Structure 1
Amino acid sequence: MIYQKLETAFGNLITYYNLVVDKVEINKPAVRGDSMFDKNMILYGPPGTGKTYNTAIYAVAIIENRSIESLFEEDYQTVLKRYNDYKKLSQITFTTFHQSYGYEEFIEGIKPSLDEDQEEQLQYKIEPGVFKDFCENAQHLKVTNNEQELEIDARVWKVSLGGSGMTELKKDCFKNNRIRIGWDEIGEDLTQEDIEYPSTSVKDILDHFYNIMSIGDIVFSLGDQKHIDGIGVITGEPEWLDEAEYKRSRSVKWIAKNIHEYVYDLNGKKNLTLRTVYELKRISIDNVNELILQHSQNEEFTVEENKKNYVFIIDEINRGNISKIFGELITLIEPTKRLGAPEQIKVRLPYSKEDFGVPQNVYLLGTMNTADRSIAMMDTALRRRFRFIEMMPNEQLLNGIKVGDIDIQKLAEVINKRIDVLYDREHTIGHAYFMSLRDDPSIENLEKIFRNAIIPLLQEYFYEDYSKIQMVLGDNAKANDLKFILDTPIQMNAVFKANPDIDIPENKYSIQLAAFNKYASYIGIYE
């Protein structure tokens, strides 16, 4: 009877246990999508365990929605080639956090730039950071017109085609798939230095039309102060038309025409003005996508949401100030808070005043060196939102590597066992330090590895407590000529007069360079 009650009780607890370990989700299990991977992951472990090396495998696996095991079965160079191809397609971005990295570089900030015409004049512009730019790229819709895919960018422009309402110029533009502006009297060639513009405003408008607008940008046609009446995609470079007026033109594919869409709220509660051309910086790309999806139900266009996976890699994620870098986005990266999720959240960004959210198809993949900073020291908010994947030294990968009679696998295993006892497992030494010996199994290469990598690492770990370094390397049981760290008794009388009343170590330590090119010095580590 008691056993039956216990079995029932444990059965009831399983659901809550699974919820805690993220096995099930409330109400909508499909938040994570069809991918087998978590949205936010961190590969963590001691130095030299292949964390950065493995980000390429994980990124390709996420994009192709394949298991990690299947990628490990492939040749690494083949996987790396696909990784670089995805980087060129902007599906993968790689960045490294450091102490000076901030919100302005990651999300958005006000950054200085020199005026192109007056190089000595400094301007300040609101620029998107790498992560915001990456998220907007991941939201680009796939728009097809007559089986031809249109290039879509995140930049949105408002154009006035002859003013507000339905004008003759707007009718022409809607009919002939283009936008047109005037100031014909200035002439076609705007590269001459002696051009007299009617005003600075006109000069800026023409500069935007010719130099800043680009193929793939979105254009909204002005309806009135709070509405637009057309949505198009720029498909051509500027042209000069031999027509009566409004000779400056750009080809546009109109996805929607003769609509009456309220955009006042989307534009940060700012009215649209009659200014001929200007950028709508407050309207976010997901708002634009919603408008396009809403108004593109016609036979000419096929509009699909972006279903591709995108991977944003952050190397050394624990070296940055997480609160400073992520800001309010620390909440937005949660799977249940992303765009399209039941509890989706958007925030109003402080500089651009634009609503922003993190799309479902963006995956965050970080790396973390446990020797640099313990997980226990990590920002709690970050720890709760990431799945941690431990990557420890795998000495089996060193199997068969020998330098003369030196067994590299045994050497690495013994060193790591001793570090684990004297310090902890998070400060062991990764197998990657020794992998170059597979191609160059020479004593010279092994000497270089020990002198330039292993010894400095041990000095850092043990704060130059050379007695412990000796124990790690087995020097405490070697003949003096085979010791990497040589200990020599201090002759007090030879150094000081009388007997100083202070604690002085019995031995002094020095690195014995002659031991590094002796095979017996390395064999003595594990025998």
Structure 2
Amino acid sequence: MATLIEICDAYINDDSIITEPNNTTFIPEAITMQPLNQILYGPPGTGKTYATIDEALRILDPTFLQENGKDRSKLKAKFDELSTAGLVRFVTFHQSFSYEDFVEGLRAATNDDKQLEYKVEPGVFKRLCDDARTQGIQPGIGIRNNPRIWKISINGTGPSPTLTYCLDHGEARIGWGKTGDLLQPLEGNAFYESLGSGDRGTLRYYAEEIVPGDILLCIHSAEMISAVGVVTGDYRFDEKPPSAVIGDYNHVRSVNWIYRDLKLPIFPLNDDKQFVAKTVYLMDRFTWGDLLAYLEQSGAKPTKTNVASGERKPHVLIIDEINRGNISRIFGELITLIEPSKRAGADEALELTLPYSKRPFSVPSNVYLIGTMNTADRSLTGLDIALRRRFTFKEMAPNPELLDEVNIDGVNIGAILRKMNERIEVLLDRDHCLGHAYFIPLKKNSNISELKFIFRQQILPLLQEYFFEDWERIAWVLNSQTNLGTEAFLQKASTDLTSLFGPEIANNLQNSDRRWRINEDAFGNIECYRNILGISV
């Protein structure tokens, strides 16, 4: 046990695992050099969340970052554009955040029969992985973002001339042609009204709810998938079907059949349930990402040679305050799968079965994780070692140089930040220093009113938390102990202890009286800030 403790201590104290990414100019090819998993860590107010935009663009569009690195408005606009496109997601960890929010969990829902049921709902990380896995095959074949998946049976089950015609000619057809065009008013249509509610629902789904970009699953039997296609056109009514097609199969959709002749069981995707007899209905137990992963795992080959030719773009998940969540609970078994060597396609790739959906899952190699960590909230050395081993770390230290040109009545703000942080490092540690971001508003409004607001409403409450309201040490940080007059932010209480307790008790309390009061007037006095620097007034 003693040997094990020594090894763990050596690992925790090994600075070599805390690395700084190269700050040289990045070119598009440099994306391969970006860490798949990284954490920006530092004290409060050092711009960690602010920096995630640059880090995300360094991965997604390094050329744009290189050309516009100093124009924050352009960088933010580009980041928003990529977020809208689904290439960047943002989540904040907290104590209540769980595996069910991050990976997948059960959600209560009401079905078509108004009955309560529980469905497996993917979390933010699984949705991102599904998008990252499927996006590369979507360009050129018309799959929309988050497509719905519809079951369809064309002329029942098994092979048939009608099915063969549809697969060969890029169509999907269903019967009940005597209804006429479903886009025309159906009120008073005797044939339509003679149909049961299930058949009318099928026709409504087919004509109105299926949209271009959705996925069709054509069945081979009640247990087997025959073909997978992408809907490429709106509904149309064919007055005269071809001779190879059943005569009343007038209802047509254009479909790009990307997989054929599959004969794959539906059970692993559909919670061990077979297809029901309804001709067309929504399959909501799995996503397009689940289906694609299943097809790839089964060795299915697309019929189109260009199906997977699209570039699989990087997808970024930004996890703010990553150390505030219960990492083991949130990541679960995926803590292993995010490791670069265990990603899909790697030599040591791993795949596991998710506990709720019972479906195979792996993490794509084009998924990037960027976390932020407030070291004042929890020390880096206290972070889960399993997490530390799988992430690279970039320190975001206070940067007083950004404030060196900010002066208020001759008091340099950069110098104030340096001096206070030097004292905090001595009294606490570097993890509890003050970040430059608190003072950035002074670059636009360099006046005593703004400085007063920052110190009274932000800096002092933070110091109170840091030092657990040990006012004497807070006074040391502000250098108030050297000047107890009107220029001191904190002043010793002046109440006569004898009048409170009598002479005997007052004498015993004389050296333990640690009462301080906040001098509100000091925050509007520039001389008090000058006193922080140790400059005599």
Report the CA distance between 1:452 and its aligned residue.
0.9
Structure 1 distance, partners of 2:121, 2:204, is 19
Q: Which position in structure 2 is the counterpart of 1:133?
A: 127
Structure 1 distance, partners of 2:418, 2:19, is 35
Equivalent AA in structure 1 for residue 302 of structure 2:
H
2:80 matched to 1:84? yes
CA contact (8 A) 1:158 1:222 kept: yes
CA displacement 1:269-289 (0-9 Å, x = unmatched): 765565423527454432345
Structure 2 distance, partners of 1:313, 1:133, is 14
- Residues 1:376 and 1:144: Cα distance change in structure 2 (over 3 Å): closer
Report the CA distance between 1:22 and its aligned residue.
10
2:330 to 304, 311, 325: 325
2:257 to 240, 254, 279: 254
Residue segments in structure 1 that go unaligned for 5+ positions in a row: 1-16, 24-31
1:173 to 142, 166, 174: 166
CA contact (8 A) 2:19 2:394 kept: no
Report the CA distance between 1:204 and its aligned residue.
6.4
Q: Which position in structure 2 is the counterpart of 1:56?
A: 53
Report the CA distance between 1:47 and its aligned residue.
0.4
Query: Matched residue of 2:130: which SS?
Result: helix
Structure 2 distance, partners of 1:392, 1:363, is 23
Range with greater deviation from structure 2 (131-140 or 36-45)? 131-140
CA displacement 1:155-177 (0-9 Å, x = unmatched): 54432111122224323422442
CA displacement 1:31-75 (0-9 Å, x = unmatched): x9961111100000000000000000000001124698x478432
1:37 to 34, 39, 58: 34
Q: Which position in structure 2 is the counterpart of 1:401?
A: 406
Q: Which position in structure 2 is the counterpart of 1:223?
A: 220
Report the CA distance between 1:86 and its aligned residue.
0.7
Structure 1 distance, partners of 2:360, 2:483, is 67
Q: Which position in structure 2 is the counterpart of 1:234?
A: 231
Range with greater deviation from structure 2 (342-351 or 205-214)? 205-214
Equivalent AA in structure 1 for residue 130 of structure 2:
E
Q: What is the aligned-residue RMSD (CA, Å)?
A: 3.6
CA displacement 1:199-240 (0-9 Å, x = unmatched): 675576567546764432332322235644322111234445
Structure 1 distance, partners of 2:337, 2:44, is 30
2:520 matched to 1:524? no
2:294 matched to 1:277? no
Report the CA distance between 1:104 and its aligned residue.
1.6
CA contact (8 A) 1:284 1:355 kept: no
CA contact (8 A) 2:268 2:358 kept: no
CA contact (8 A) 1:107 1:326 kept: yes
CA contact (8 A) 2:138 2:144 kept: no
User: TM-score, normalised on structure 1?
Assistant: 0.83
Query: Matched residue of 1:236: which SS?
Result: coil
Q: Which position in structure 1 is the counterpart of 2:424?
A: 419
Query: Matched residue of 1:366: which SS?
Result: strand
Structure 2 distance, partners of 1:310, 1:475, is 50
Structure 2 distance, partners of 1:213, 1:418, is 66
Q: How many pairs are equivalent? A: 495
CA contact (8 A) 2:143 2:214 kept: no
2:367 matched to 1:370? no
Query: Matched residue of 2:301: which SS?
Result: helix
CA contact (8 A) 1:139 1:306 kept: no
Range with greater deviation from structure 2 (368-377 or 424-433)? 368-377
Q: Which position in structure 1 is the counterpart of 2:303?
A: 296
1:341 to 320, 339, 346: 346
Structure 1 distance, partners of 2:184, 2:384, is 54
Report the CA distance between 1:345 and its aligned residue.
1.6
Range with greater deviation from structure 2 (286-295 or 443-452)? 286-295
Query: Matched residue of 1:140: which SS?
Result: helix
- Residues 1:314 and 1:209: Cα distance change in structure 2 (over 3 Å): farther
Structure 2 distance, partners of 1:476, 1:190, is 86
Structure 2 distance, partners of 1:429, 1:190, is 69
Structure 1 distance, partners of 2:76, 2:194, is 53
CA contact (8 A) 1:48 1:432 kept: yes
Structure 1 distance, partners of 2:323, 2:73, is 28
CA displacement 1:396-422 (0-9 Å, x = unmatched): 111110111111011000000000000
2:403 matched to 1:379? no
Report the CA distance between 1:335 and its aligned residue.
0.7
Report the CA distance between 1:468 and its aligned residue.
0.3
Query: Matched residue of 2:323: which SS?
Result: helix
CA displacement 1:422-450 (0-9 Å, x = unmatched): 00000000001111101100100000000
1:485 to 462, 483, 490: 490
Residue segments in structure 2 that go unaligned for 5+ positions in a row: 1-13, 21-28, 241-246
CA contact (8 A) 1:36 1:65 kept: no
Structure 2 distance, partners of 1:440, 1:523, is 19
- Residues 1:494 and 1:189: Cα distance change in structure 2 (over 3 Å): farther
